[in-house]
Structure 1
């Protein structure tokens, strides 16, 4: 790796060249496209992003869980270069190519369950979710889809309807697609009856919602993130997801697992469903799948995926050969370097320090949660009162940015600080990044950061 794996602060953050580029962005890019940290990257790899001013920032975001194998993994670079030299596009629906088939074969091998599977490839997570819903409705002949509080599934019209949070995802973009119903999420930290009662009470609330608002015979699918992403890295209590899956099977309702953020080694397993042995009927993937290139998939039981008429699934760019080559190389990297184990190592390094931070600031850190290299702290203003503190999350984020650490926040209330380091990051950078985060947190709590 030719990019040195060290944090370097050559200028203030953002530096003068980044500020120039940001001015050009403001003049030419829609204001609706936001930027979390306006430093303009010229090179990246491992756990480092180097900007146009020569600053090298530690990456705790992975482009929102995309660059799992790093930003320039050698196998990915070689595969992409080779494929670009061969051809960049033909459209699989016109003249197909082996790379698309090979990705689908790999998905059949890696996704949960030993049953016969089929896949279809798309460009983005939102496209994958939309097409999973299409398959479910087509196969069952039913219309209704049940989702959960705090869910995030995308920015298209249907996936905005499936998403729970209004701002910034849904605000004034309606009307949205119909026949979408929302059930309470099993959210242990904020469950009204307490964490111990969450699994049982949340399951009962889910069943009641489907039965009273939808009717089992009208429900095509239940769509769930095994660990919620944008909604706050919410990990349901053990056993809850398995009970939901079992109940869906009993009712003839399809279970769709949205593993777009959790998939491909991020949580310490190939997929978050694997942790409890849950086998969904349909599973959506994207993000970490293709080493940074746009690729998404729906993988499901063969009889479901094959029930759709010819031409009912597809898209001009879906399964682009360059993206497919990148995905095959990224998966090879995950296997060769055992990145599932690496995610578990990252969890073992992060969690003790995050819990120690919670012990030092019990009135400000309400919860530490997550799995593998998908971890979070929920910030509050009053400890036992559990009042969300988005202002503190923002202050910590700004302090981290100024010190050269790329971080992300999330959550329905904007008060969750999430950690998504690339699995290619080294231990020294992990430790230094946590040092930066802790110092930023202490300064924000003490009022040194506005």
Structure 2
């Protein structure tokens, strides 16, 4: 048993080390991400499991010899490293307030994030009490192509209660995998309880789909929303968009390419404007290196599966797929969110996008950098996820309140009060 405890100690120490310093080499990138992702975002569960395993092995003779004691020391060090990630997550509220997110907006009316979901994360796959979900609604049909979405409402809503703000959720998955049933669920459930109508939207995936077909599908949803929003109690004149990873890239593209004919073939006259965007850990520039050793467009994923054109001979195609190409003064308000320990999309990618957008846009551009967070941190209903969801909800509620008052797109008063004299760019 002493060598079993030694093996556990080494494993725990390596996992904790990877959580704090994930590997970015081509070979270790994927396993390092998944290992670090689970360790960081499931830290309370990891600590309980590790402590139980260590105590069990020690109780069955694991400390009989130097190997066992060495393993115990390593296990304790590993658990301390994981505990440090919990300390970092507790700074989420401070981070959000520093970014300008108005956490003090309507605090008494907001339902608390359910403790049961934090203890049993799988519960986030089930609609929360008070939420009704209409599934597999077809929003685009063209021959054999049938694209579907799920709608999240507050249960018991009636059409006479007035139209509600809409939120479009775009799943991630590197443009090749993912589904509406898997991502954005904690946010959509929370937003539904706050009176929003959420639309979790599927779109065609590569390699079957070739860029920009992914974006064109989402533009079709925007056109569909204008025509059908009222059927689901949503205001056709107000829609915000959010998504993570590839969904973060698509969120930014949706927000910045309103009414661009290239992405609306056959429905160029449709109004595809949105009133706010919240991209999580997205890619915003495919044609310049910067945070990357080489441009993202040069990767096998983009050249062979998504854009399907050699980068060296078609850099303009990759520029047209990049949100930074479409920065404009009349861009809608943005709230960009990224994790500081993101091993798949470096946090510097978000920083440079925010800087460029602030230089151009006349609307508020908020940025929250989650200390210690990995890529896709919000998939799990953790303490950090709960606080981020609350911050996003209150930010978007401020935008909707401003919309109802008929004011221009500027920094809402709630954000000014929470941010003091800081500039939003």
Do both proteins adopt the same fold according to a TM-score greater than 0.5, normalized to the shorter chain? Answer: no
Query: What is the TM-score when the length of structure 2 is the normalising length?
Result: 0.31
* Larger RCO (alpha carbons 8 Å, 6+ apart): 1
